[in-house]
């Protein structure tokens, strides 16, 4: 697939690198495509990856992954180009100063859908760390990738992309369920950084 | 330990039955101790279990598990008797009409702590179904029991009680983390009932 990644921080870099290596055509939309850090990322990601300015980065992409900071999300979406009918995977969390800036009666994902009303928004890749996106193997066990959205086809595409990275996708329902998935990201951050468990932790939904 | 369970619904019945069978002395505080349903519960729970009115049910208990509906929580706490210094495990979730009635900037657990300021409140047994409390085995894998609170000793006691039921306890930090754990309960309900996965699901924190 042709995938545009908005942002090349930890999450954007991890997702783009893995998907490029798996054979997808990946375009990173970044502030400065010629920055040394971006060039190093492209070398790591291999021949299927390229970098461009955020402006127009979504042009030609079937899937757009929003992987900016929360502060940069609205701007990136407004610059990225026409998102009509595209799968827009919201990987962000509305963290401001280390805490969720909104929740309960709304979610970052619902804000994103408001900023990109023509896109098919899926919330995913927000409940785990970027290290798990680079390597999802837990002694042979696959972590769950919880996702939600209002467009079934967009969720199927996103679930496939999660599965390719080694996750077990779990469709959690409509986009409003992001009100549960974003606090789950808060819990991941709480455990990894504040409780000192470190980044080698991941949530799994057990079934029997 | 001497454990009082406020409420004998699905969660209270499951916890009390297991803990009584494991040798703890369990008192169910219920509206009508002579109701047929309660008598059946006591037969299932065995000789270590008894039932009494909610009024004074916490007298003599070292641990009190709040397992009422959210609507009944404040009343049960005000009637249960002196909670000074006792471990109060809040197993409730602030569900009203199937949705969390509060969150993000507060939590049910923080409300409970306000209603019982003299108790040592721990949030636990709220992120999974009562069926998992009766039988926590997932093909040899133990689900995680996420818990939080501001009293280290009370968390140690609660973690032990979770472990005895077959869960892997996980201390998630201060009581405010209930703002993350209650949405996790929302996700469990969403997946079990609305997405049709059924009640044989449980969250686990993977580590490597």
**Residues of B whose CB is below 8 A from A139:** 208
Rounded Cα–Cα distance for residues B155 and B58 (Å): 19
Distance from CA of B32 to the nearest CA of A (A): 36
Residue A180: list chain B partners with CB under 8 A: 183-184, 186-187, 190
Query: Domain residue spans in chain B?
Result: 2-194
- B34's CB contacts (< 8 A; 6+ apart) are none
In this complex, which of A141, A184, A194 lies closest to B184 when CB atoms are compared?
A: A184
Instruction: Please answer whether residues B15 and B133 qualify as being in contact, where contact means their C-beta atoms are separated by less than 8 angstroms.
Output: yes
Share of chain A above pLDDT 90, in %: 100
3-class secondary-structure state, position B184: helix
For residue A190, the model assigns a pLDDT of 97
Residue A92 in contact with residue A68, Cβ under 8 Å?
Answer: yes
Spell out the residues 6+ positions from residue B40 whose beta carbon is closer than 8 angstroms to its own: none
Contact A195 B172 (CB under 8 A): yes
Token code pair at residue A30: 């970044």
Q: Is B204 on the interface with A (CB under 8 A)?
A: yes
- Reported confidence tier of residue A86, pLDDT bands at 50, 70, 90: very high
Number of A–B residue contacts, CB under 8 Å: 102
CB-based contact A208 B143, cutoff 8 Å: no
- Average pLDDT score over residue span B36-62: 97
Q: Could you list the beta-strand ranges (E) of B80-176.
A: 87-90, 95-96, 99-100, 120-123, 144-149, 168-171
Distance CA A1, CA A183 (A): 30
Could you tell me whether strands B168-171 and B144-149 are parallel, antiparallel, or unpaired per DSSP bridges?
A: parallel
Is residue A127 packed enough to be buried (19+ CB in 10 Å), middle (13-18) or exposed (0-12)?
buried
CB atoms within 10 A of CB A42: 20
The answer to whether B118 contacts chain A (CB < 8 Å) is no
Cβ pair A173:B184 closer than 8 A: no
Q: DSSP states of B61-84 as a string?
A: -SEEEE-S-HHHHHHHHHHS---T
* Residue B112 DSSP SS3: helix
- Counting Cα atoms < 13 Å in the Cβ hemisphere of A47 gives 1
Quick: pLDDT tens for A138-150.
999 999 999 999 9
Over residues B173-180, the mean pLDDT reads 98
The pLDDT value recorded for residue A200 is 98
Greatest CA span in chain B, whole angstroms?
A: 50
Distance from CA of A94 to the nearest CA of B (A): 12
Residue A38: which pLDDT band, with cuts at 50, 70 and 90? very high
User: What's the whole-number mean pLDDT along residues B108-112?
Assistant: 97
Q: Does residue B166 belong to the interface with chain A, where contact is any CB pair within 8 Å?
A: no
Question: What's the pLDDT score for residue A145?
Answer: 98
Give long-range contacts, CB 8 A cutoff, 24+ apart: A105-108: A105/A179, A105/B104, A106/A179, A107/A175, A107/A176, A107/A178, A107/A179, A107/A181, A107/A182, A108/A70, A108/A73, A108/A178, A108/A182
> What percentage of chain B carries pLDDT values higher than 90?
100
What would the DSSP string read from start to end of chain A? Answer: -EEEEE--SHHHHHHHHHHHHTT-EEEEEES-TTSHHHHHHHHHH-TTEEEEESTTTTTT-SEEEE-S-HHHHHHHHHHS---TT-EEEE----EETTEESS-SS--HHHHHHHH-TTSEEEE-S-SS-HHHHH---BTTBPPEEEEEES-HHHHHHHHHHHHHTT-EEEE--SGGGHHHHHHHHHHHHIIIIIS---S-EEEEEEE-
8 Å CB contact of B173 and A180: no
pLDDT, residue A58, reads 97
A184/B contact by beta carbon, under 8 A: yes
Q: For the segment B9-34, what is each residue's pLDDT rounded down to a tens digit?
A: 999 999 999 999 999 999 999 999 99
Over the stretch A167-194, which tens digit does the pLDDT of each residue have? Answer: 999 999 999 999 999 999 999 999 999 9
Q: Which residue of A has its CA nearest to B202?
A: A206
Interface test with A, best of B94, B95, B96, B104 (most A CBs within 10 A): B104
Among partner residues A104, A203, A208, which is closest to B205 by beta-carbon distance? Answer: A203
Q: Which superfamily is assigned to B2-194 in CATH?
A: NAD(P)-binding Rossmann-like Domain (3.40.50.720)
CA distance B14 to B3: 13
Residue B197 forms contact with A (CB below 8 Å): yes
Only one residue has tokens 């349903």, namely B37
Region B57-84 average pLDDT: 97
Say whether residue B177 is in contact with chain A using an 8 A CB cutoff: yes
Phi, psi of B49 (to 5 degrees): -110, 145
Among B132, B162, B165, B164, CA closest to B147 = B162
């Amino acid at each position: 697939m042709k995938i545009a990644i908005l942002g090349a921080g930890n999450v954007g870099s991890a997702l783009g690198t893995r998907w490029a290596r798996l054979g997808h055509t990946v375009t990173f939309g970044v502030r400065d495509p010629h920055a040394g850090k971006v060039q190093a990322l492209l070398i790591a990601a291999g021949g299927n990856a390229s970098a461009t300015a955020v402006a127009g980065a979504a042009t030609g992409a079937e899937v757009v992954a929003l992987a900016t900071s929360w502060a940069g999300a609205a701007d990136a979406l407004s610059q990225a180009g026409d998102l009509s009918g595209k799968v827009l995977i919201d990987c962000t969390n509305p963290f401001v100063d280390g805490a969720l800036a909104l929740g309960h009666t709304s979610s970052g994902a619902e804000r994103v859908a408001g900023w990109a009303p023509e896109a098919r928004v899926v919330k995913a890749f927000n409940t785990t760390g970027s290290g798990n996106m680079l390597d999802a193997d837990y002694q042979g066990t696959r972590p769950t990738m919880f996702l939600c959205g209002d467009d079934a086809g967009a969720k199927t595409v996103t679930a496939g992309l999660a599965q390719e990275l080694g996750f077990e996708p779990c469709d959690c329902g409509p986009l409003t369920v992001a009100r549960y998935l974003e606090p789950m990201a808060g819990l991941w951050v709480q455990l990894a950084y504040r409780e000192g468990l470190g980044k080698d932790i991941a949530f799994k939904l057990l079934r029997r």
